[in-house]
């Protein structure tokens, strides 16, 4: 067994339209929860590719990131299983397209638009405390250009020169 600690890298999309934010209602091991369109970074993809893919899979909306809202680290302890995981979350904002006619990812019940106040009212149903934190950071205008993120060609299988 490896003794190297490895946080789980995730991405999330902070999408606003008409003062409402796009969320997903999903089945989790701790029950039904709300989250941004979000998920794990897969092997062979960049953070930007991951957030676009996750948003499409979970909401049926195309998404093109335009800025990084923030990077977040949190620890999660499952009340049901006692499992402890540290997450490193990269939250992006960007342009969202119209909903496409395609099925949502397994476990996603629906995509839903909520105001910040509606999100506050159901805080106990959030997948993590980062759901509201990311929205608040977005509303405060926190943005970094995507140029702060570099994906080395080795991610795509190119060998070091």
pLDDT tens track for 97-155:
999 999 999 999 999 999 999 999 999 999 999 999 999 999 999 999 999 999 999 99
What local confidence, expressed as pLDDT, does residue 19 receive?
A: 97
Residue 88: closest CA among 136, 38, 24, 123: 38
The C-alpha atoms of residue 148 and residue 28 are separated, in whole angstroms, by: 32
Whether residue 1 has pLDDT greater than 70: no
Rg (CA), the chain: 16
The C-alpha atoms of residue 28 and residue 88 are separated, in whole angstroms, by: 19
Q: Which of 40-54, 60-74, 77-91 has the lowest mean pLDDT?
A: 77-91
Whether residue 52 has pLDDT greater than 60: yes
Tell me how far the alpha carbon of residue 118 is from its chain's centroid: 19
Pick the CATH number of 8-144 from 3.30.450.40, 3.90.79.10, 3.40.109.10, 3.30.1360.10: 3.90.79.10
What local confidence, expressed as pLDDT, does residue 112 receive?
A: 97
Each domain of the chain, given as residue ranges in start order, spans 8-144
Q: Where are the alpha helices (DSSP H) in the chain?
A: 47-59, 116-121, 130-139
Percent with pLDDT over 90 in the chain: 86
Whether residue 161 has pLDDT greater than 60: no
Contact (Cβ atoms closer than 8 angstroms) between residue 84 and residue 149: no
CB within 8 Å of 40: residues ≥ 6 apart: 8, 9, 10, 11, 50
Question: Model confidence over 16-50: pLDDT tens digits?
Answer: 999 999 999 999 988 999 999 999 999 999 999 99
């Amino acid at each position: 067994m490896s003794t190297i600690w490895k946080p789980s890298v995730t991405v999330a999309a902070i999408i606003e339209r008409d003062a409402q934010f796009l969320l997903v209602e999903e089945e989790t091991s701790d029950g039904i929860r709300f989250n941004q369109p979000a998920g794990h970074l897969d092997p062979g993809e960049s953070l930007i590719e991951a957030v676009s893919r996750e948003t499409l899979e979970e909401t049926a909306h195309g998404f093109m990131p335009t800025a990084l809202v923030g990077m977040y680290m949190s620890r999660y302890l499952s009340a049901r299983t006692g499992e402890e995981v540290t997450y490193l979350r990269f939250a992006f904002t960007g342009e969202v397209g119209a909903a496409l006619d395609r099925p949502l990812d397994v476990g996603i019940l629906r995509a839903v638009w909520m105001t910040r106040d509606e999100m506050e009212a159901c805080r106990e149903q959030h997948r993590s405390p980062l759901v509201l934190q990311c929205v608040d950071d977005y509303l405060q205008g926190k943005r970094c250009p995507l140029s702060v993120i570099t994906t080395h060609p080795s991610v795509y299988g190119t060998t070091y020169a």
